[in-house]
Every structure is written in C-alpha cells, then in structure tokens.
Amino acid sequence: MKKHELALILDFGSQYTQLIAKRTRLLNIYSEIVPFNTSFEKIKEMSPKTIILSGSPFSVTTENAPIPDKRIFEMGIPILGICYGMQLITKLFGGKVSKSDKKEYGFAQITIEDKNSIFSELSNLEDVWMSHGDAVEKLPKNFHRIAFSDNSPYAAIVNDKNNIFALQFHPEVVHTKNGLKIIENFLIKICNFSKDWNSSSIIDWAINSISDRVGEDQVILGLSGGVDSSVTAALLHKAIGNQLIPIFVNTGLLRKNEVEEVQRIFKESFNLKLITIDAENIFLEKLKGVTNPEKKRKIIGNTFIDIFDHEASKYPKAKFLAQGTLYPDVIESVSFKGPSATIKSHHNVGGLPEKMNLKLVEPLREMFKDEVREIGRELGLPSNMVDRHPFPGPGLAIRIIGDVTKEKISLLQDIDNIFIQSLRDDNLYHTTWQAFAVLLPVQSVGVMGDERTYENVCALRAVSSVDGMTADWTEFPYDFLKKVSNKIINEVQGVNRVVYDISSKPPATIEWE
C-alpha cells in the first residue's frame, strides 16, 4: 500500500498548530502533528519530506524552553520555522534572540526583499499576522534576511544551502492575507510535494487499511447517525461489506424523526442492515429526577456502554470495534500542552474498547472534519447527513436544563425541528456553524387570545465558528428570528416565550450544559 508523502509538524504548544496541518491538507498534502520531543528515531521512521516547527507560548530565552532533537537539521530535508520556530532555529544555529522592546501582536506589514522561493508571486508589501514578544537580534551564520517589518528587522530569514526557512509571522492564520500561498510555495516549490492527499486517494487508502487490518473478521460499529459515525459506516461497508455489524442505539434523546431518517438513508444508500435497539425507556428511567449536567452525561455514557455491550455480546465472532475518532481527537491526546482545566466531560462516549476487549478500527483517525465530510459526499451519503451541524453525544438531555422527561423531549424536538427547518427554508442553515434550541427550566406569563398563560420558555442558539474552540453568536436577520419565534409559539403547545442567546465563547460555552 503506497504511503502518502508527509509534512511533519513539531508541536511546541501553539494555539495555531492545528491550523498549520489544516492548511497543508487544504493543499492536498498529508500532514501529521507530533510533540516537539518526539524521538529522532521515530521521526526518521516516519520519513517526512519536510519538518515544520510551530509557534509556542514559551520563550527560547528561558531555561525551560522546549527544544527538539537537533539531529532533525541533519536529515537533508527542508525545514520551516514559524514564530517560536524561527527563534528556535536562530538560537540553535548560533544567532541571538532577545526580548523585543517593540512587541508585535496583530496585523503588520512586511517588506519582501527576495521573491524567488517562499515569497514567489507575492507583492513587495504583504499583510501578515504577528504574535510575538521575542525577536531575532543577530542572524546565525549562513542565514540572510528575506523580509522585514517596522518592528521586526528580521521578519523572514533563510539558509539557502540547507533549505531552512523561518518566519516571524503566522502564515497559517487567515489574517495573513496570502499565508496559504506562502505555505504552498514552501511545500511545492521547495519541498516538491506531489499533492497526493485527496478524497479519492484517501478512500482507497482507508479501504485498503481496513481490509488489511480486519481480514475475514467481523467489526461492530456503534452508529449514532452523526457525520463521523455515518462516514465510518460507509467506509467500512465499502471495505468489508457484510462483515460490518452496525448497531444503532435509540436513546430517545435524538432529534425529531432522526431514528427513521438514519434507518432510511442507510437502507436506501447502502442496503445496510442496521440493528436498532430501542432503549428510550431505559434512558428515561436512569435520568429520572437528575438535574446535574455532569451526572446526566455520565449516566448516558454508562447506560449506552451497558446496552451496546449487551447487544455486541451476541456476536462472539466479532474481533474489532469501529469508532469515528477524528484527527483533532488524536492530536488532543498526544500534543504538547500545558496545564488545562476540565470544563466538562467530552460529548462522545468513551471506554468501550477496554470493557469489550475488542481491537480498535478507526478509519478516520488521520482526518479533519472537512475531509470527513468530503469523503462522505464521495461515498454517496446525502448532504443533509454529511453537512449537518454538530450534535452532542448525550443528545437533547443536555439541551433540557433541569430534569429530563418524555414530555420535555417531545416539546424540545418540535421546537428544534421548527428552528432547523426554518434555517433550511431560508437558506441560512449553512451560514452558521451550529444551531439548536434549549428548553429552559422556567415558565413565564403570556397572553394568548383573551386568556392568561403560564408556559415554557425556550432559547435559540446559533454560533459561527471554525472548530468550536471559540465561537461568536450568529447575527441572523431580525425578520427571520421574528418569523421563527412566531412559528414556535403558534405551533408548539406549551411555549409562550422565545429568547435568542447572544453569548460568545468564551466566556460562555456553545452548549448550555
């Protein structure tokens, strides 16, 4: 099986590291992120065509500055250092880095002196995004300057002999106007990548990987109907056909008509025999009277595991468990990072492999979300499934503030359905990253006809985001919000007030629980 050409990214803890990988993937070039202290032997084994050094919250002037194995510079491959990566290269090659009197955070304009390689086809002046407190004071031997800014005498440097490039600014962020072109110039003109990472090649590669790993054994998959598990199911079915055992647990906490829709799509598109477990009453009984969000999540996760485990035990010949793990999940578990606070339990259910003693198959673990969506389209999944907004693993339980009952679920399903369908009808669904409704634990006074009412309040939430790490509330037209509010109040019995959440993340989270 042919191995994809690799751009290896060493992570020094930058908030932008994933963006470097995403930009390379956007150019149809395969990239992986590993911690800065990955062993030299491991790096050699991976056979990268280039190594990119990320930014970092650290300073190379401190004793605890993260430093990689210096032998990477002797591998004879091009290297690109970004921000901290540039300062690190300068220090390791004998130059001088110091605290800058004039720090640069935000937009800056660089003057380009050499447009023969990494700055090919760019203007003499380029808008870039800076984020640094240290600066190169003295160049290392055999390096020369190719760009500068008002506050950075060395905004970009290069060692032509060893093909080592270093940039003080961040080409991976969208704020750097032609950042993608700079990355493309480096990867194509300097590293000679052939752009072999595309949806067709990814599918072929994934299918071959699955077939080689699974052989004649059976694979159990917990299908939720979300993008990740659906694309995983489609890939596995294409690779191993009836060896796949897809189990769909109906928790009763899904969106309106979602169970029927998932069953229909997989039957029509793939003729997939889906095993559906109706466990609504079990989940409702377990959640009875529970109001604490974390407790809800744990109950749902543990109950799901128990039900899934019981059903899977009916297939003793199954040797593998498939999961829709994505590359950001992998990065989160292996990347270099400092102390962080736990905000809430992850939406997805975990712990199945250890309990069930099955080997894992994760065909999407090398992929970002946008790549997964593209693969889904290529495999024939309908757009209303592939392009749907994110949906939390615990489902509507964490969108009902307070205790969860069958009546509240039904009420929220109707509210949410009106909101989402209205977005689709007005061509607004794809203008926001995620939209949903929340049922609040309060009632308010209203007037309907000539009668006083005392009924439920619901909140509508929509956010614009790239990856969910930060988000801003989506500014829908007032006329649209007015129309949706009227429709919900008129058509959903038990609701007399609709509010719109205009909180950003941070300080708020996207979900309410």
CA pair distance 324, 78, nearest whole angstrom: 34
- Catalytic residue chosen out of the listed positions 5, 104, 126, 172: 172
Which amino acid would we find at residue 224?
A: S
The secondary structure of residue 59, as a DSSP letter, is -
> Cα(464)–Cα(302) distance, rounded to whole angstroms?
32
- Sign, CA torsion 497/498/504/507: positive
| CB burial of residue 121 (10 Å; 0-12, 13-18, 19+) | exposed
Decide: 415 and 493 in contact? Cβ < 8 Å.
no
Q: How far apart are CA 11 and CA 467, in angstroms?
A: 18
Q: Are 236 and 363 in contact (CB under 8 A)?
A: yes
Contact 11, 17 (CB under 8 A): yes
Query: CB of 227 within 8 A of CB of 372?
Result: yes
Query: What is the C-alpha to C-alpha distance for residues 23 and 192, in angstroms, rounded to an integer?
Result: 16
Q: Which residue among the candidates 5, 104, 132, 170 is catalytic per the annotation?
A: 170
Single-letter code of the amino acid located at 135: A
Catalytic annotation present for 83: yes
Between the alpha carbon of residue 451 and those of residues 191, 386, 493, 499, the distances in Å are 74, 45, 14, 22
HSE-CB at 19 with a 13 A cutoff on CA atoms is 20
Helix (H) or strand (E) holding 169: none
Q: Which of 5, 83, 191, 237 is catalytic?
A: 83
State the catalytic residues.
Answer: 83, 170, 172
